[in-house]
Amino acid sequence: MAPPTRVFFVADLHGSERCFRKFLNAGRVYKAGVLLIGGDIAGKTITPLWRENGGWVGQYFGERRHVETETELERFEAELRDLGSLPYRTTPGEWADLSAHRSRLDDLFQSLALESLAAWVRLAESRLQGSGIRTLVGLGNDDFDGMEAVVRASDYVELTDDAVLRVDDRHELLTLAYSNPTPWHTHRELSEEAIARRIDALAAKLSDTTRAVFNCHVPPLNTPLDLAPRLTADLTKVMGPGGDEELVHVGSSAVRAAIERYQPLAGLHGHIHESRGVGAVGRTAVYNPGSSYSEGILLGLVVDFEPDRIRSHVLTTG
């Protein structure tokens, strides 16, 4: 009997280079043959850096930093990338002009994010190509379409988006790289109806839905995986009488309906960083490894797949 296929799954790295390096090491650490990112690769912020008083200054998370030398600056830039921010050397005047023109700032962000992703792909190729470990990468709602071409250009890293890939001779991976609508109006959002149509079109390509793995970035509605803080219209968190955040289910009804209909072997999800956990929709085991990318902590999931069942799973922290 063939040994189980071990998959290491993460999501929502949001530009954290430290988390990505840990991800690449996970094949060796966890003895996984398949490494899989389930979306939201791009960082969320640019950190401007400019010259001041003979050195360079920058501010991140409210902390103003001043460095003197080029070596110190490069170390600061690496620290920013580790935490998921994109460093950018500029001037106060240029930054003020960019900030006043949102479209130009968005173009700069996308250019920096593409450079960062290309560097990640090169790193994966240099470390893992020829190792026998597969690296599968998908996008999420915070990512933008131009990132697909960067992954496709690799002869090692595989793009999962909107496709059915064979994991082994028994299991196929169906990937949906979008979410239902969010309050932030991100790049890759679809209506529930559009999500349902896309999943159905992909499911029609599966040879056996009961052995499939549904890699949908957004989790199914009304599970332990989709609880997020309730927000007001101005995106302020709603607090309960006891001072705790009120939580609400924000997953996708279409993803849940598809899992109920097709009953795949597993559902791998992300999107809701706070809802790390394991659940079930009918016979289907569903997982969300969560995310602590801003702390440089890689939260993940190791799953062993046998032909008709999940042999074991472990949520990891590293």
- Give per-residue pLDDT as tens, 117-156: 999 999 999 999 999 999 999 999 999 999 999 999 999 9
> What is the average per-residue pLDDT within 68-85?
96
Is residue 1 predicted with pLDDT exceeding 70? no
Per-residue model confidence as pLDDT tens digits over 198-233:
999 999 999 999 999 999 999 999 999 999 999 988
Strand 5-10 to 85-89 pairing: unpaired
Percent of the chain with pLDDT strictly greater than 90: 93
Mean pLDDT, the chain, integer: 96
Are 141 and 173 spatial neighbours (Cβ–Cβ below 8 Å)? no
Instruction: List the helix and strand counts (H, then E) for the chain.
Output: 7, 18
C-alpha distance from residue 258 to each of 115, 200, 250, 271, 281 (Å): 36, 8, 16, 18, 10
Looking at the domain that runs over 17-46+105-317, which CATH code has it been given?
Answer: 3.60.21.10
Largest separation between any pair of C-alpha atoms in the chain:
68
- Is residue 177 scored above 90 in pLDDT? yes
User: What are the structure tokens assigned to 307, written together?
Assistant: 């032909």
- Ordered alpha helix ranges (H), 174-213: 192-203
Residue 243 has pLDDT above 80, yes or no: no
Structure confidence at residue 169 as a pLDDT band (50, 70, 90): very high
Give the per-residue pLDDT at 157: 98
Task: Give mean pLDDT, residues 26-34.
Answer: 97
Residue 195 is given by DSSP the state H
Encoded tokens for 148: 């697909």
Q: Spell out the residues 6+ positions from residue 48 whose beta carbon is closer than 8 angstroms to its own.
A: 58, 88, 90, 95
> Is the separation of the CB atoms in 36 and 139 below 8 Å?
no
Nearest to 230 by CA among 248, 249, 244, 251: 248
pLDDT of residue 241: 82
Task: Say whether pTM exceeds 0.85.
Answer: yes
Residue 263, pLDDT above cutoff 80: yes
The dihedral over CA atoms of 250, 251, 254, 257, expressed in degrees to the nearest 10, equals: -120
